[in-house]
Every structure is written in C-alpha cells, then in structure tokens.
C-alpha cells in the first residue's frame, strides 16, 4: 500500500478536487471557466530551449535541451485535464524531466471542450505527429500522455493505420480514460476510495467532448478500438482510481503489447505527483524512452509486477 505522504495527498484531493466534479452541474460550471494560460513556466524557459509554432490553427511547443546537447528520442506529450482543463505546472514539471534526460518533447496544446470536441483534436494531433516524423525516424518517437492525454495518445496510435503513418516506437499511458461510458461494474467499488475523480463530472465532460456522438465510439473510448498492432505500451495506474477497472480489462485484452503497472492504493496520475510511489514509475519511464533514443543500447526495463508497489 501507499505511504503516509500519498495518504495525506489523498485527503487534500478529496477535499479540494473531487467535490468540484461530483455533480454534472459542477462540471458544467468548471467547463464554463476560461481554460487558463498554456505558456511554459519561466523556470522551464530558463533551463531549456522552447519554441512555439502553429499547427492547423493551434499551438504546439517544442522543448529541447540547450544547444550543444545531443538530442535523444522525440516524445509527443499530451496533457490531461478531463478534456477541458489546460496544461498545468505538474505537466510541465514532468516534461522538464524528459528534456533534462536529453530528449526533444513536443507538447501539443490541443483544442479543449466546451469550445471544441474530439473532432477538432484528432486532425490536429495527426498533423503534429506527421511533423515530428518529418524529422525523426518512428523508431525514435514515443507518444505519451496522462489522463485525458493518455486517451488521446492511444486513440492517435489506433488511428495511424488509416492515415498511412507508421506507429511510434512506444506508447506511455498514465491513468488514461479507456471507456468514457464508465459503465464497468467494478467502478462502483472503486469510486468510494478514489480521492480525486468523480463519475458524474467525468461523464458530463465526456458528453461535451463527444459533441453529441456516442461515448462508446472507438474514437472516444479506445478500449473499443483496434488492439492488434499496438506498439509496445506502458500503462501506469493506481488501484484507487475509478479508471483502474477499465485499465485492467484493456491490459487483459491487449495481451503482451501492454506492460501494466498497477500500484495498490495509488490515486489518479500518481507518477506526476511528488509522492514516493512516483519514483519507480518515473525511472522506468525514462529508461523506456532512453531505449528509443538511438544513442545507446540502453537495456529494456525489466517487467514489473502487476500487483502492489512497483
């Protein structure tokens, strides 16, 4: 089980975050607020080379080590936020870890609900991916994302065969929403112990993001999309996350393509939060990306246990 610090963070999240999304009405109020600033923090801009360009009408940042450092892999990182919240300091902090390891990180600022739907995001993300492939061999490209961004990372990978684009070398998914219907009966049991996510708010955000389409469509719920031919996929999930039951089901269906790490008692996107349980996940993620960077023969991380702390 998780330690004292994670339990304290869980209490904070239950009081400050979960209550704000525990009804559909509260979710609608939250979505009506301005999305916020997507600019990288000043400290990140001091440490790394950061450029912003427009792709299909939306911004995308490129974060790289300063000149003189060899570039490793190219990581396309898609941030979470229930499809309506802008990228946050926590996301930039993790992006900084990737850049510090010598990798180029592409950060698409994808269009958000309620002003946009998934139909606007899909072509944009495909175009960003195409741009990265114009500079990097796909064997050096990693697509990663947390929460809603993990959902988008997986649906992007599933859509690539129809676009004629090659698959990335690896997918890294942190607590993705894999079935936006949230109808798995096991969610009822987990909902009581999840300190962060609330089903009513997530369902409302999903309905707005879907723009009137059925939530079970593969373009929205990747558990219903093609699972054959996925690149090697690392999936991280805490058991105190209402998205956990669908993650376990997805890993079972996808088979050997997915390396599933679940941490008993951990909450949503725990690798992004400064708790002890995040350490092993961050180290494993950096090792997996290094394996794709083309600079060294970094060994593949050892398979991790499916249950308990990893």
CA pair distance 59, 3, nearest whole angstrom: 39
- Could you give the strand order of the β-sheet that contains 170-174, starting from the edge strand earlier in sequence? 49-55, 58-64, 104-108, 74-78, 141-146, 170-174, 233-238, 258-263
3-state secondary structure (DSSP) of residue 18: helix
pLDDT at residue 2, as a whole number = 85
CA pair distance 86, 84, nearest whole angstrom: 7
pLDDT, tens only, 1-16: 788 999 999 999 998 8
pLDDT, tens only, 70-117: 568 999 999 999 999 999 999 999 999 999 999 999 999 999 999 999
The Cα angle at residue 263 between residues 259 and 269, in degrees rounded to 5: 85
Report if pTM > 0.95: no
Count of other CB atoms within 10 angstroms of residue 302: 7
Count of other CB atoms within 10 angstroms of residue 7: 14
pLDDT at residue 306, as a whole number = 44
pLDDT at residue 70, as a whole number = 57
All residue ranges of the chain with pLDDT < 70 are 68-71, 294-310
């Amino acid at each position: 089980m998780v330690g004292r610090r994670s339990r304290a963070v869980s209490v904070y999240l239950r009081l400050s975050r979960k209550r704000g999304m525990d009804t559909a009405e509260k979710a609608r109020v939250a979505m009506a607020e301005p999305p916020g600033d997507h600019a990288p923090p000043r400290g990140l801009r001091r440490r790394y080379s950061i450029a912003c360009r427009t792709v299909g009408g939306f911004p995308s940042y490129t974060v790289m080590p300063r000149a003189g450092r060899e570039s490793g892999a190219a990581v396309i990182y898609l941030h979470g936020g229930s499809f309506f919240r802008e990228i946050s300091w926590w996301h930039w902090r993790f992006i900084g870890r990737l850049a510090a390891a010598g990798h180029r990180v592409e950060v698409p600022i994808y269009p958000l609900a309620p002003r946009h739907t998934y139909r606007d995001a899909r072509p944009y993300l495909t175009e960003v991916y195409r741009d990265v492939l114009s500079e990097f061999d796909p064997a050096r490209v990693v697509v990663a994302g947390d929460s809603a961004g993990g959902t988008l990372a997986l649906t992007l990978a599933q859509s690539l065969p129809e676009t004629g684009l090659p698959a990335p070398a690896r997918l890294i998914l942190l607590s993705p929403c894999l079935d936006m219907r949230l109808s798995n009966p096991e969610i009822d049991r987990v909902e009581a112990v999840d300190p962060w996510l609330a089903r009513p708010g997530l369902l409302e955000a999903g309905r707005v993001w879907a723009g009137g389409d059925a939530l079970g469509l593969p373009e929205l719920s990747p558990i219903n999309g093609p699972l054959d031919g996925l690149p090697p996929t690392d999936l991280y999930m805490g058991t105190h996350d209402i998205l956990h039951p669908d993650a376990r089901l997805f890993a079972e269906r996808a088979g050997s393509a997915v390396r599933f790490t679940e941490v008993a008692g951990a909450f949503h996107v725990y690798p992004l939060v400064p708790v002890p349980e995040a350490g092993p996940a961050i180290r494993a993620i950096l090792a997996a990306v290094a394996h794709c960077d083309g600079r060294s023969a970094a060994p593949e991380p050892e398979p991790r246990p499916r249950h308990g702390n990893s």
